[in-house]
A and B are shown apart, each in its own frame.
Chain A
């Protein structure tokens, strides 16, 4: 499909849904994409099956502290320069761009880069949602290395990192970003078309757009956006097991910042009284429990949404008294394998619990 200027808002809304409470507010990303598209034109999403096996595909992302990103806005050419550095190092040009993370602001940034360069974006990502750390991607689960990776700041300063493992790559990249003023862009996990055919989470860009569009159209025609959203998701290949986990109002929000993560819980009281649903989060929503019983758990997606408009609410935006519905959605099968659960399963977030698919809860 071709993403046009007027589609950006829908795409951003869908990306916020897939952010599962995290991934950052897509507002800045949306504006950047609108400005880029107004200047450089629309972007084509290409199915991974239409990509040659030996093509070079490069994921791109924004990297930094959200508080800083909204003040020191990007120059716009960071990702381009990071990509160039990577291309020089690898001795070849990228065939297409892709997001590492379809949830939140990082769904939009690769599309900005693609628009500026006139390159297509592969309709694939490495999370099928949002996760807080660089190595929590299917690319890494399938043994691909995050490095060589390139980090570029607004002045065009670029640091190329080749690391022995992804933990080192992540640590070095984070300190580099801090030295760059806590806001930078990154190109990492360079892979071949054949690689991504195996490890990519497919169709997630079109999915984000369709989710955003479904919600908007339901609103415009005064229909219940939730029933339209669920019936759309049920028709998708990966996200079909979905349900409303809670419908009520927020009666408690607790949060603290620890080790650079926003950690906390939110409690929702069911309309009509009685049942309490508690959602625990660490940037993203991790687990939803109703009266103590697990109803959905990471890597399955848990998204808190405004009860009337179905606008996704990030964990920073949760407030006492909000009327919300909590939607649980199955994660793509690639994230539910034993190998994947070692990287993105409940225990990776300090939960003393094993993964149970939402359809069994």
Chain B
């Protein structure tokens, strides 16, 4: 038995799974402290299933703790930022492009020291132990407790990052240290940003993991527990303590993975309609397609593994308006606009059918007879043509979003999940079939409970000095080792290999990216 929990902006959903069977499920309100809501949801699925807590072997949690903390700039540690790169990179200092308040919350403790590597592994400058020691002593003097270390091309050679970490370990044994090569990809600023974010979250992550542990043991659940990360795989709790940043934006991923599980489809477009947005993503080989561009989180540019999600402002709580000259461009039909603003979690107070004064998409659906909630009499006065136009506008917006997320011309299955999936009443364009699985409302929690872990490698190899097959198998071996380190035991397989020669230059330099995925030990995953 295992429990999956997913924390959303409005609801905290939980499911209890026995193998592939859903034993019980629940939706509880998300609480301000997040943890209380999680505990309530777990208690509820156990109660519904009349199970003893001891029967649960593992708990998987998708949480917004770290995203919230980062976006709100709260509960972040100040970070000592060490960049091993001089004389390279000095034209762009750490924290460039960060929103001012966030940069201030992190502090501006920046140390640029000599070192780093070229793409072919040659040293840009020798590692300067004295300079690093001096930086670390200054960080210690300032009383900081988190350090982020980034060196140029640490994906090619991590030795200098590791050597600097050893000095921090010696002088500041209590400090949290984040090394960029453990989190990000090629692209110095984005990887450094991710490392800084991770270091800033390190105190919070220890607290959160501790409070989860305590909450679970208070409930009598003595199970292994995991947190879902943004690529749709899991991390063991103690790994999350070290890499909280990898959990950011795991919500949409969990929905997509859950939809795949419920429908047993591996390639489809998933439309998750919530209260404020519809999140549309593409599932390939059972995993969300990853975004190929830099992703902004709270205004900070990063490049770690994020699902490629198109969020459009169409949800059950979206405000409906007649299109006027100033907003006609946002309307496809030209008569009605939907969102992007929404009443969100206040739907049950503000929507017309609940006695409120805001005309929402839910009201339109009730007036059109698509769904039946609240008091239909309160929307009886709406003009029939307007209601029909609004409903058609919603379908057109979804058609359009699906079309944007498709990767080829062929029709694909479309899976609808989320609370708003009931609003869709006709086949969407480009769909070979429309699937609304049972338990679609808790697909996210089911997605969290899918027990797989991943490993990845992103590095530049030189085919002039290292044969292509040797390079590929080296990359694969490292990715496999990383998956095993993350807890994978069985069925480890390659999910994706990317080979991109470096443009504009002669020579055989090629960037190789390998991603593998594997299953957790069977006793935990079942």
Contact = CB atoms under 8 A, between A and B. Distances in A.
Interface residues of A, number: 46
Contacts of B124: 72, 154-155, 181
A231 interface: no
Contacts of B509: 65, 182
Nearest to A283: B503
Interface stretch (B113-121, B238-246, B444-452): B113-121
Given A31-B92, A70-B186, A75-B87, A321 B403 contact: yes
A289 B87 CA distance: 47
Nearest to B301: A27
Contacts of A31: 92, 96-97, 189
Contacts of A252: 409
Interface string B67-91: 0000000000000000001111111
A174 B326 CA distance: 52
A262 B88 CA distance: 27
Which one of B86, B89, B326 has the highest number of Cβ atoms from chain A below 10 Å of its Cβ? B89
Contacts of A36: 91
A284 to B, nearest CB: 12
B502 interface: yes
A35 B96 contact: yes
Nearest to B510: A257
B116 A72 contact: yes
Contact of A262 (B188, B503, B506, B507): B503
Interface in A173-195: 174-175, 177-178, 181-182
A172 to B, nearest CB: 12
A74 B92 CA distance: 8
Interface in B509-523: 509, 511
B152 interface: yes
A235 interface: no
Interface string A62-75: 00111110111111
B452 to A, nearest CB: 27
Given A65-B509, A181-B118, A73 B88 contact: yes
B500 A67 contact: yes
Interface string B280-321: 000000000000110000000000000000000000000000
B408 A67 contact: no
Given A31-B97, A35-B96, A321-B403, A75 B502 contact: no
Nearest to B118: A181
A176 to B, nearest CB: 11
B91 A76 contact: yes
Interface in A201-222: 222
A321 B405 contact: yes
Given A72-B152, A73-B92, A260 B125 contact: no
A64 B189 contact: no
B280 to A, nearest CB: 11
A320 B284 CA distance: 15
B407 A321 contact: yes
Given A252-B409, A323-B404, A70 B504 contact: no
B107 interface: no
A112 B90 CA distance: 14
Interface in B482-514: 500-507, 509, 511
A260 B188 contact: no
A257 B92 CA distance: 29
A112 B292 CA distance: 29
A356 interface: no
Nearest to A177: B505
A66 B504 CA distance: 8
Given A178-B506, A181-B120, A182-B502, A72 B88 contact: yes
Nearest to A36: B91
Interface in A7-55: 28, 31-32, 34-36
Nearest to A156: B87
Contacts of B187: 70-71
B197 interface: no
A32 B89 CA distance: 10
Contacts of B506: 174-175, 178, 260
Interface in B168-220: 186-189
Nearest to B405: A321
Given A31-B92, A182-B509, A321-B405, 15 more contacts: A28-B92, A35-B93, A68-B119, A68-B460, A71-B186, A71-B187, A75-B89, A75-B90, A76-B90, A155-B125, A257-B500, A260-B501, A260-B504, A317-B293, A321-B406
What are the nearest 3 A-B pairs in CB distance?
A76-B91, A181-B118, A154-B88
Interface of B: 85-93, 96-97, 116, 118-120, 122, 124-125, 152-153, 186-189, 292-293, 326, 329, 403-409, 460, 500-507, 509, 511
9 contacts: A31-B97, A64-B505, A66-B503, A71-B188, A74-B88, A76-B90, A112-B91, A261-B503, A323-B404
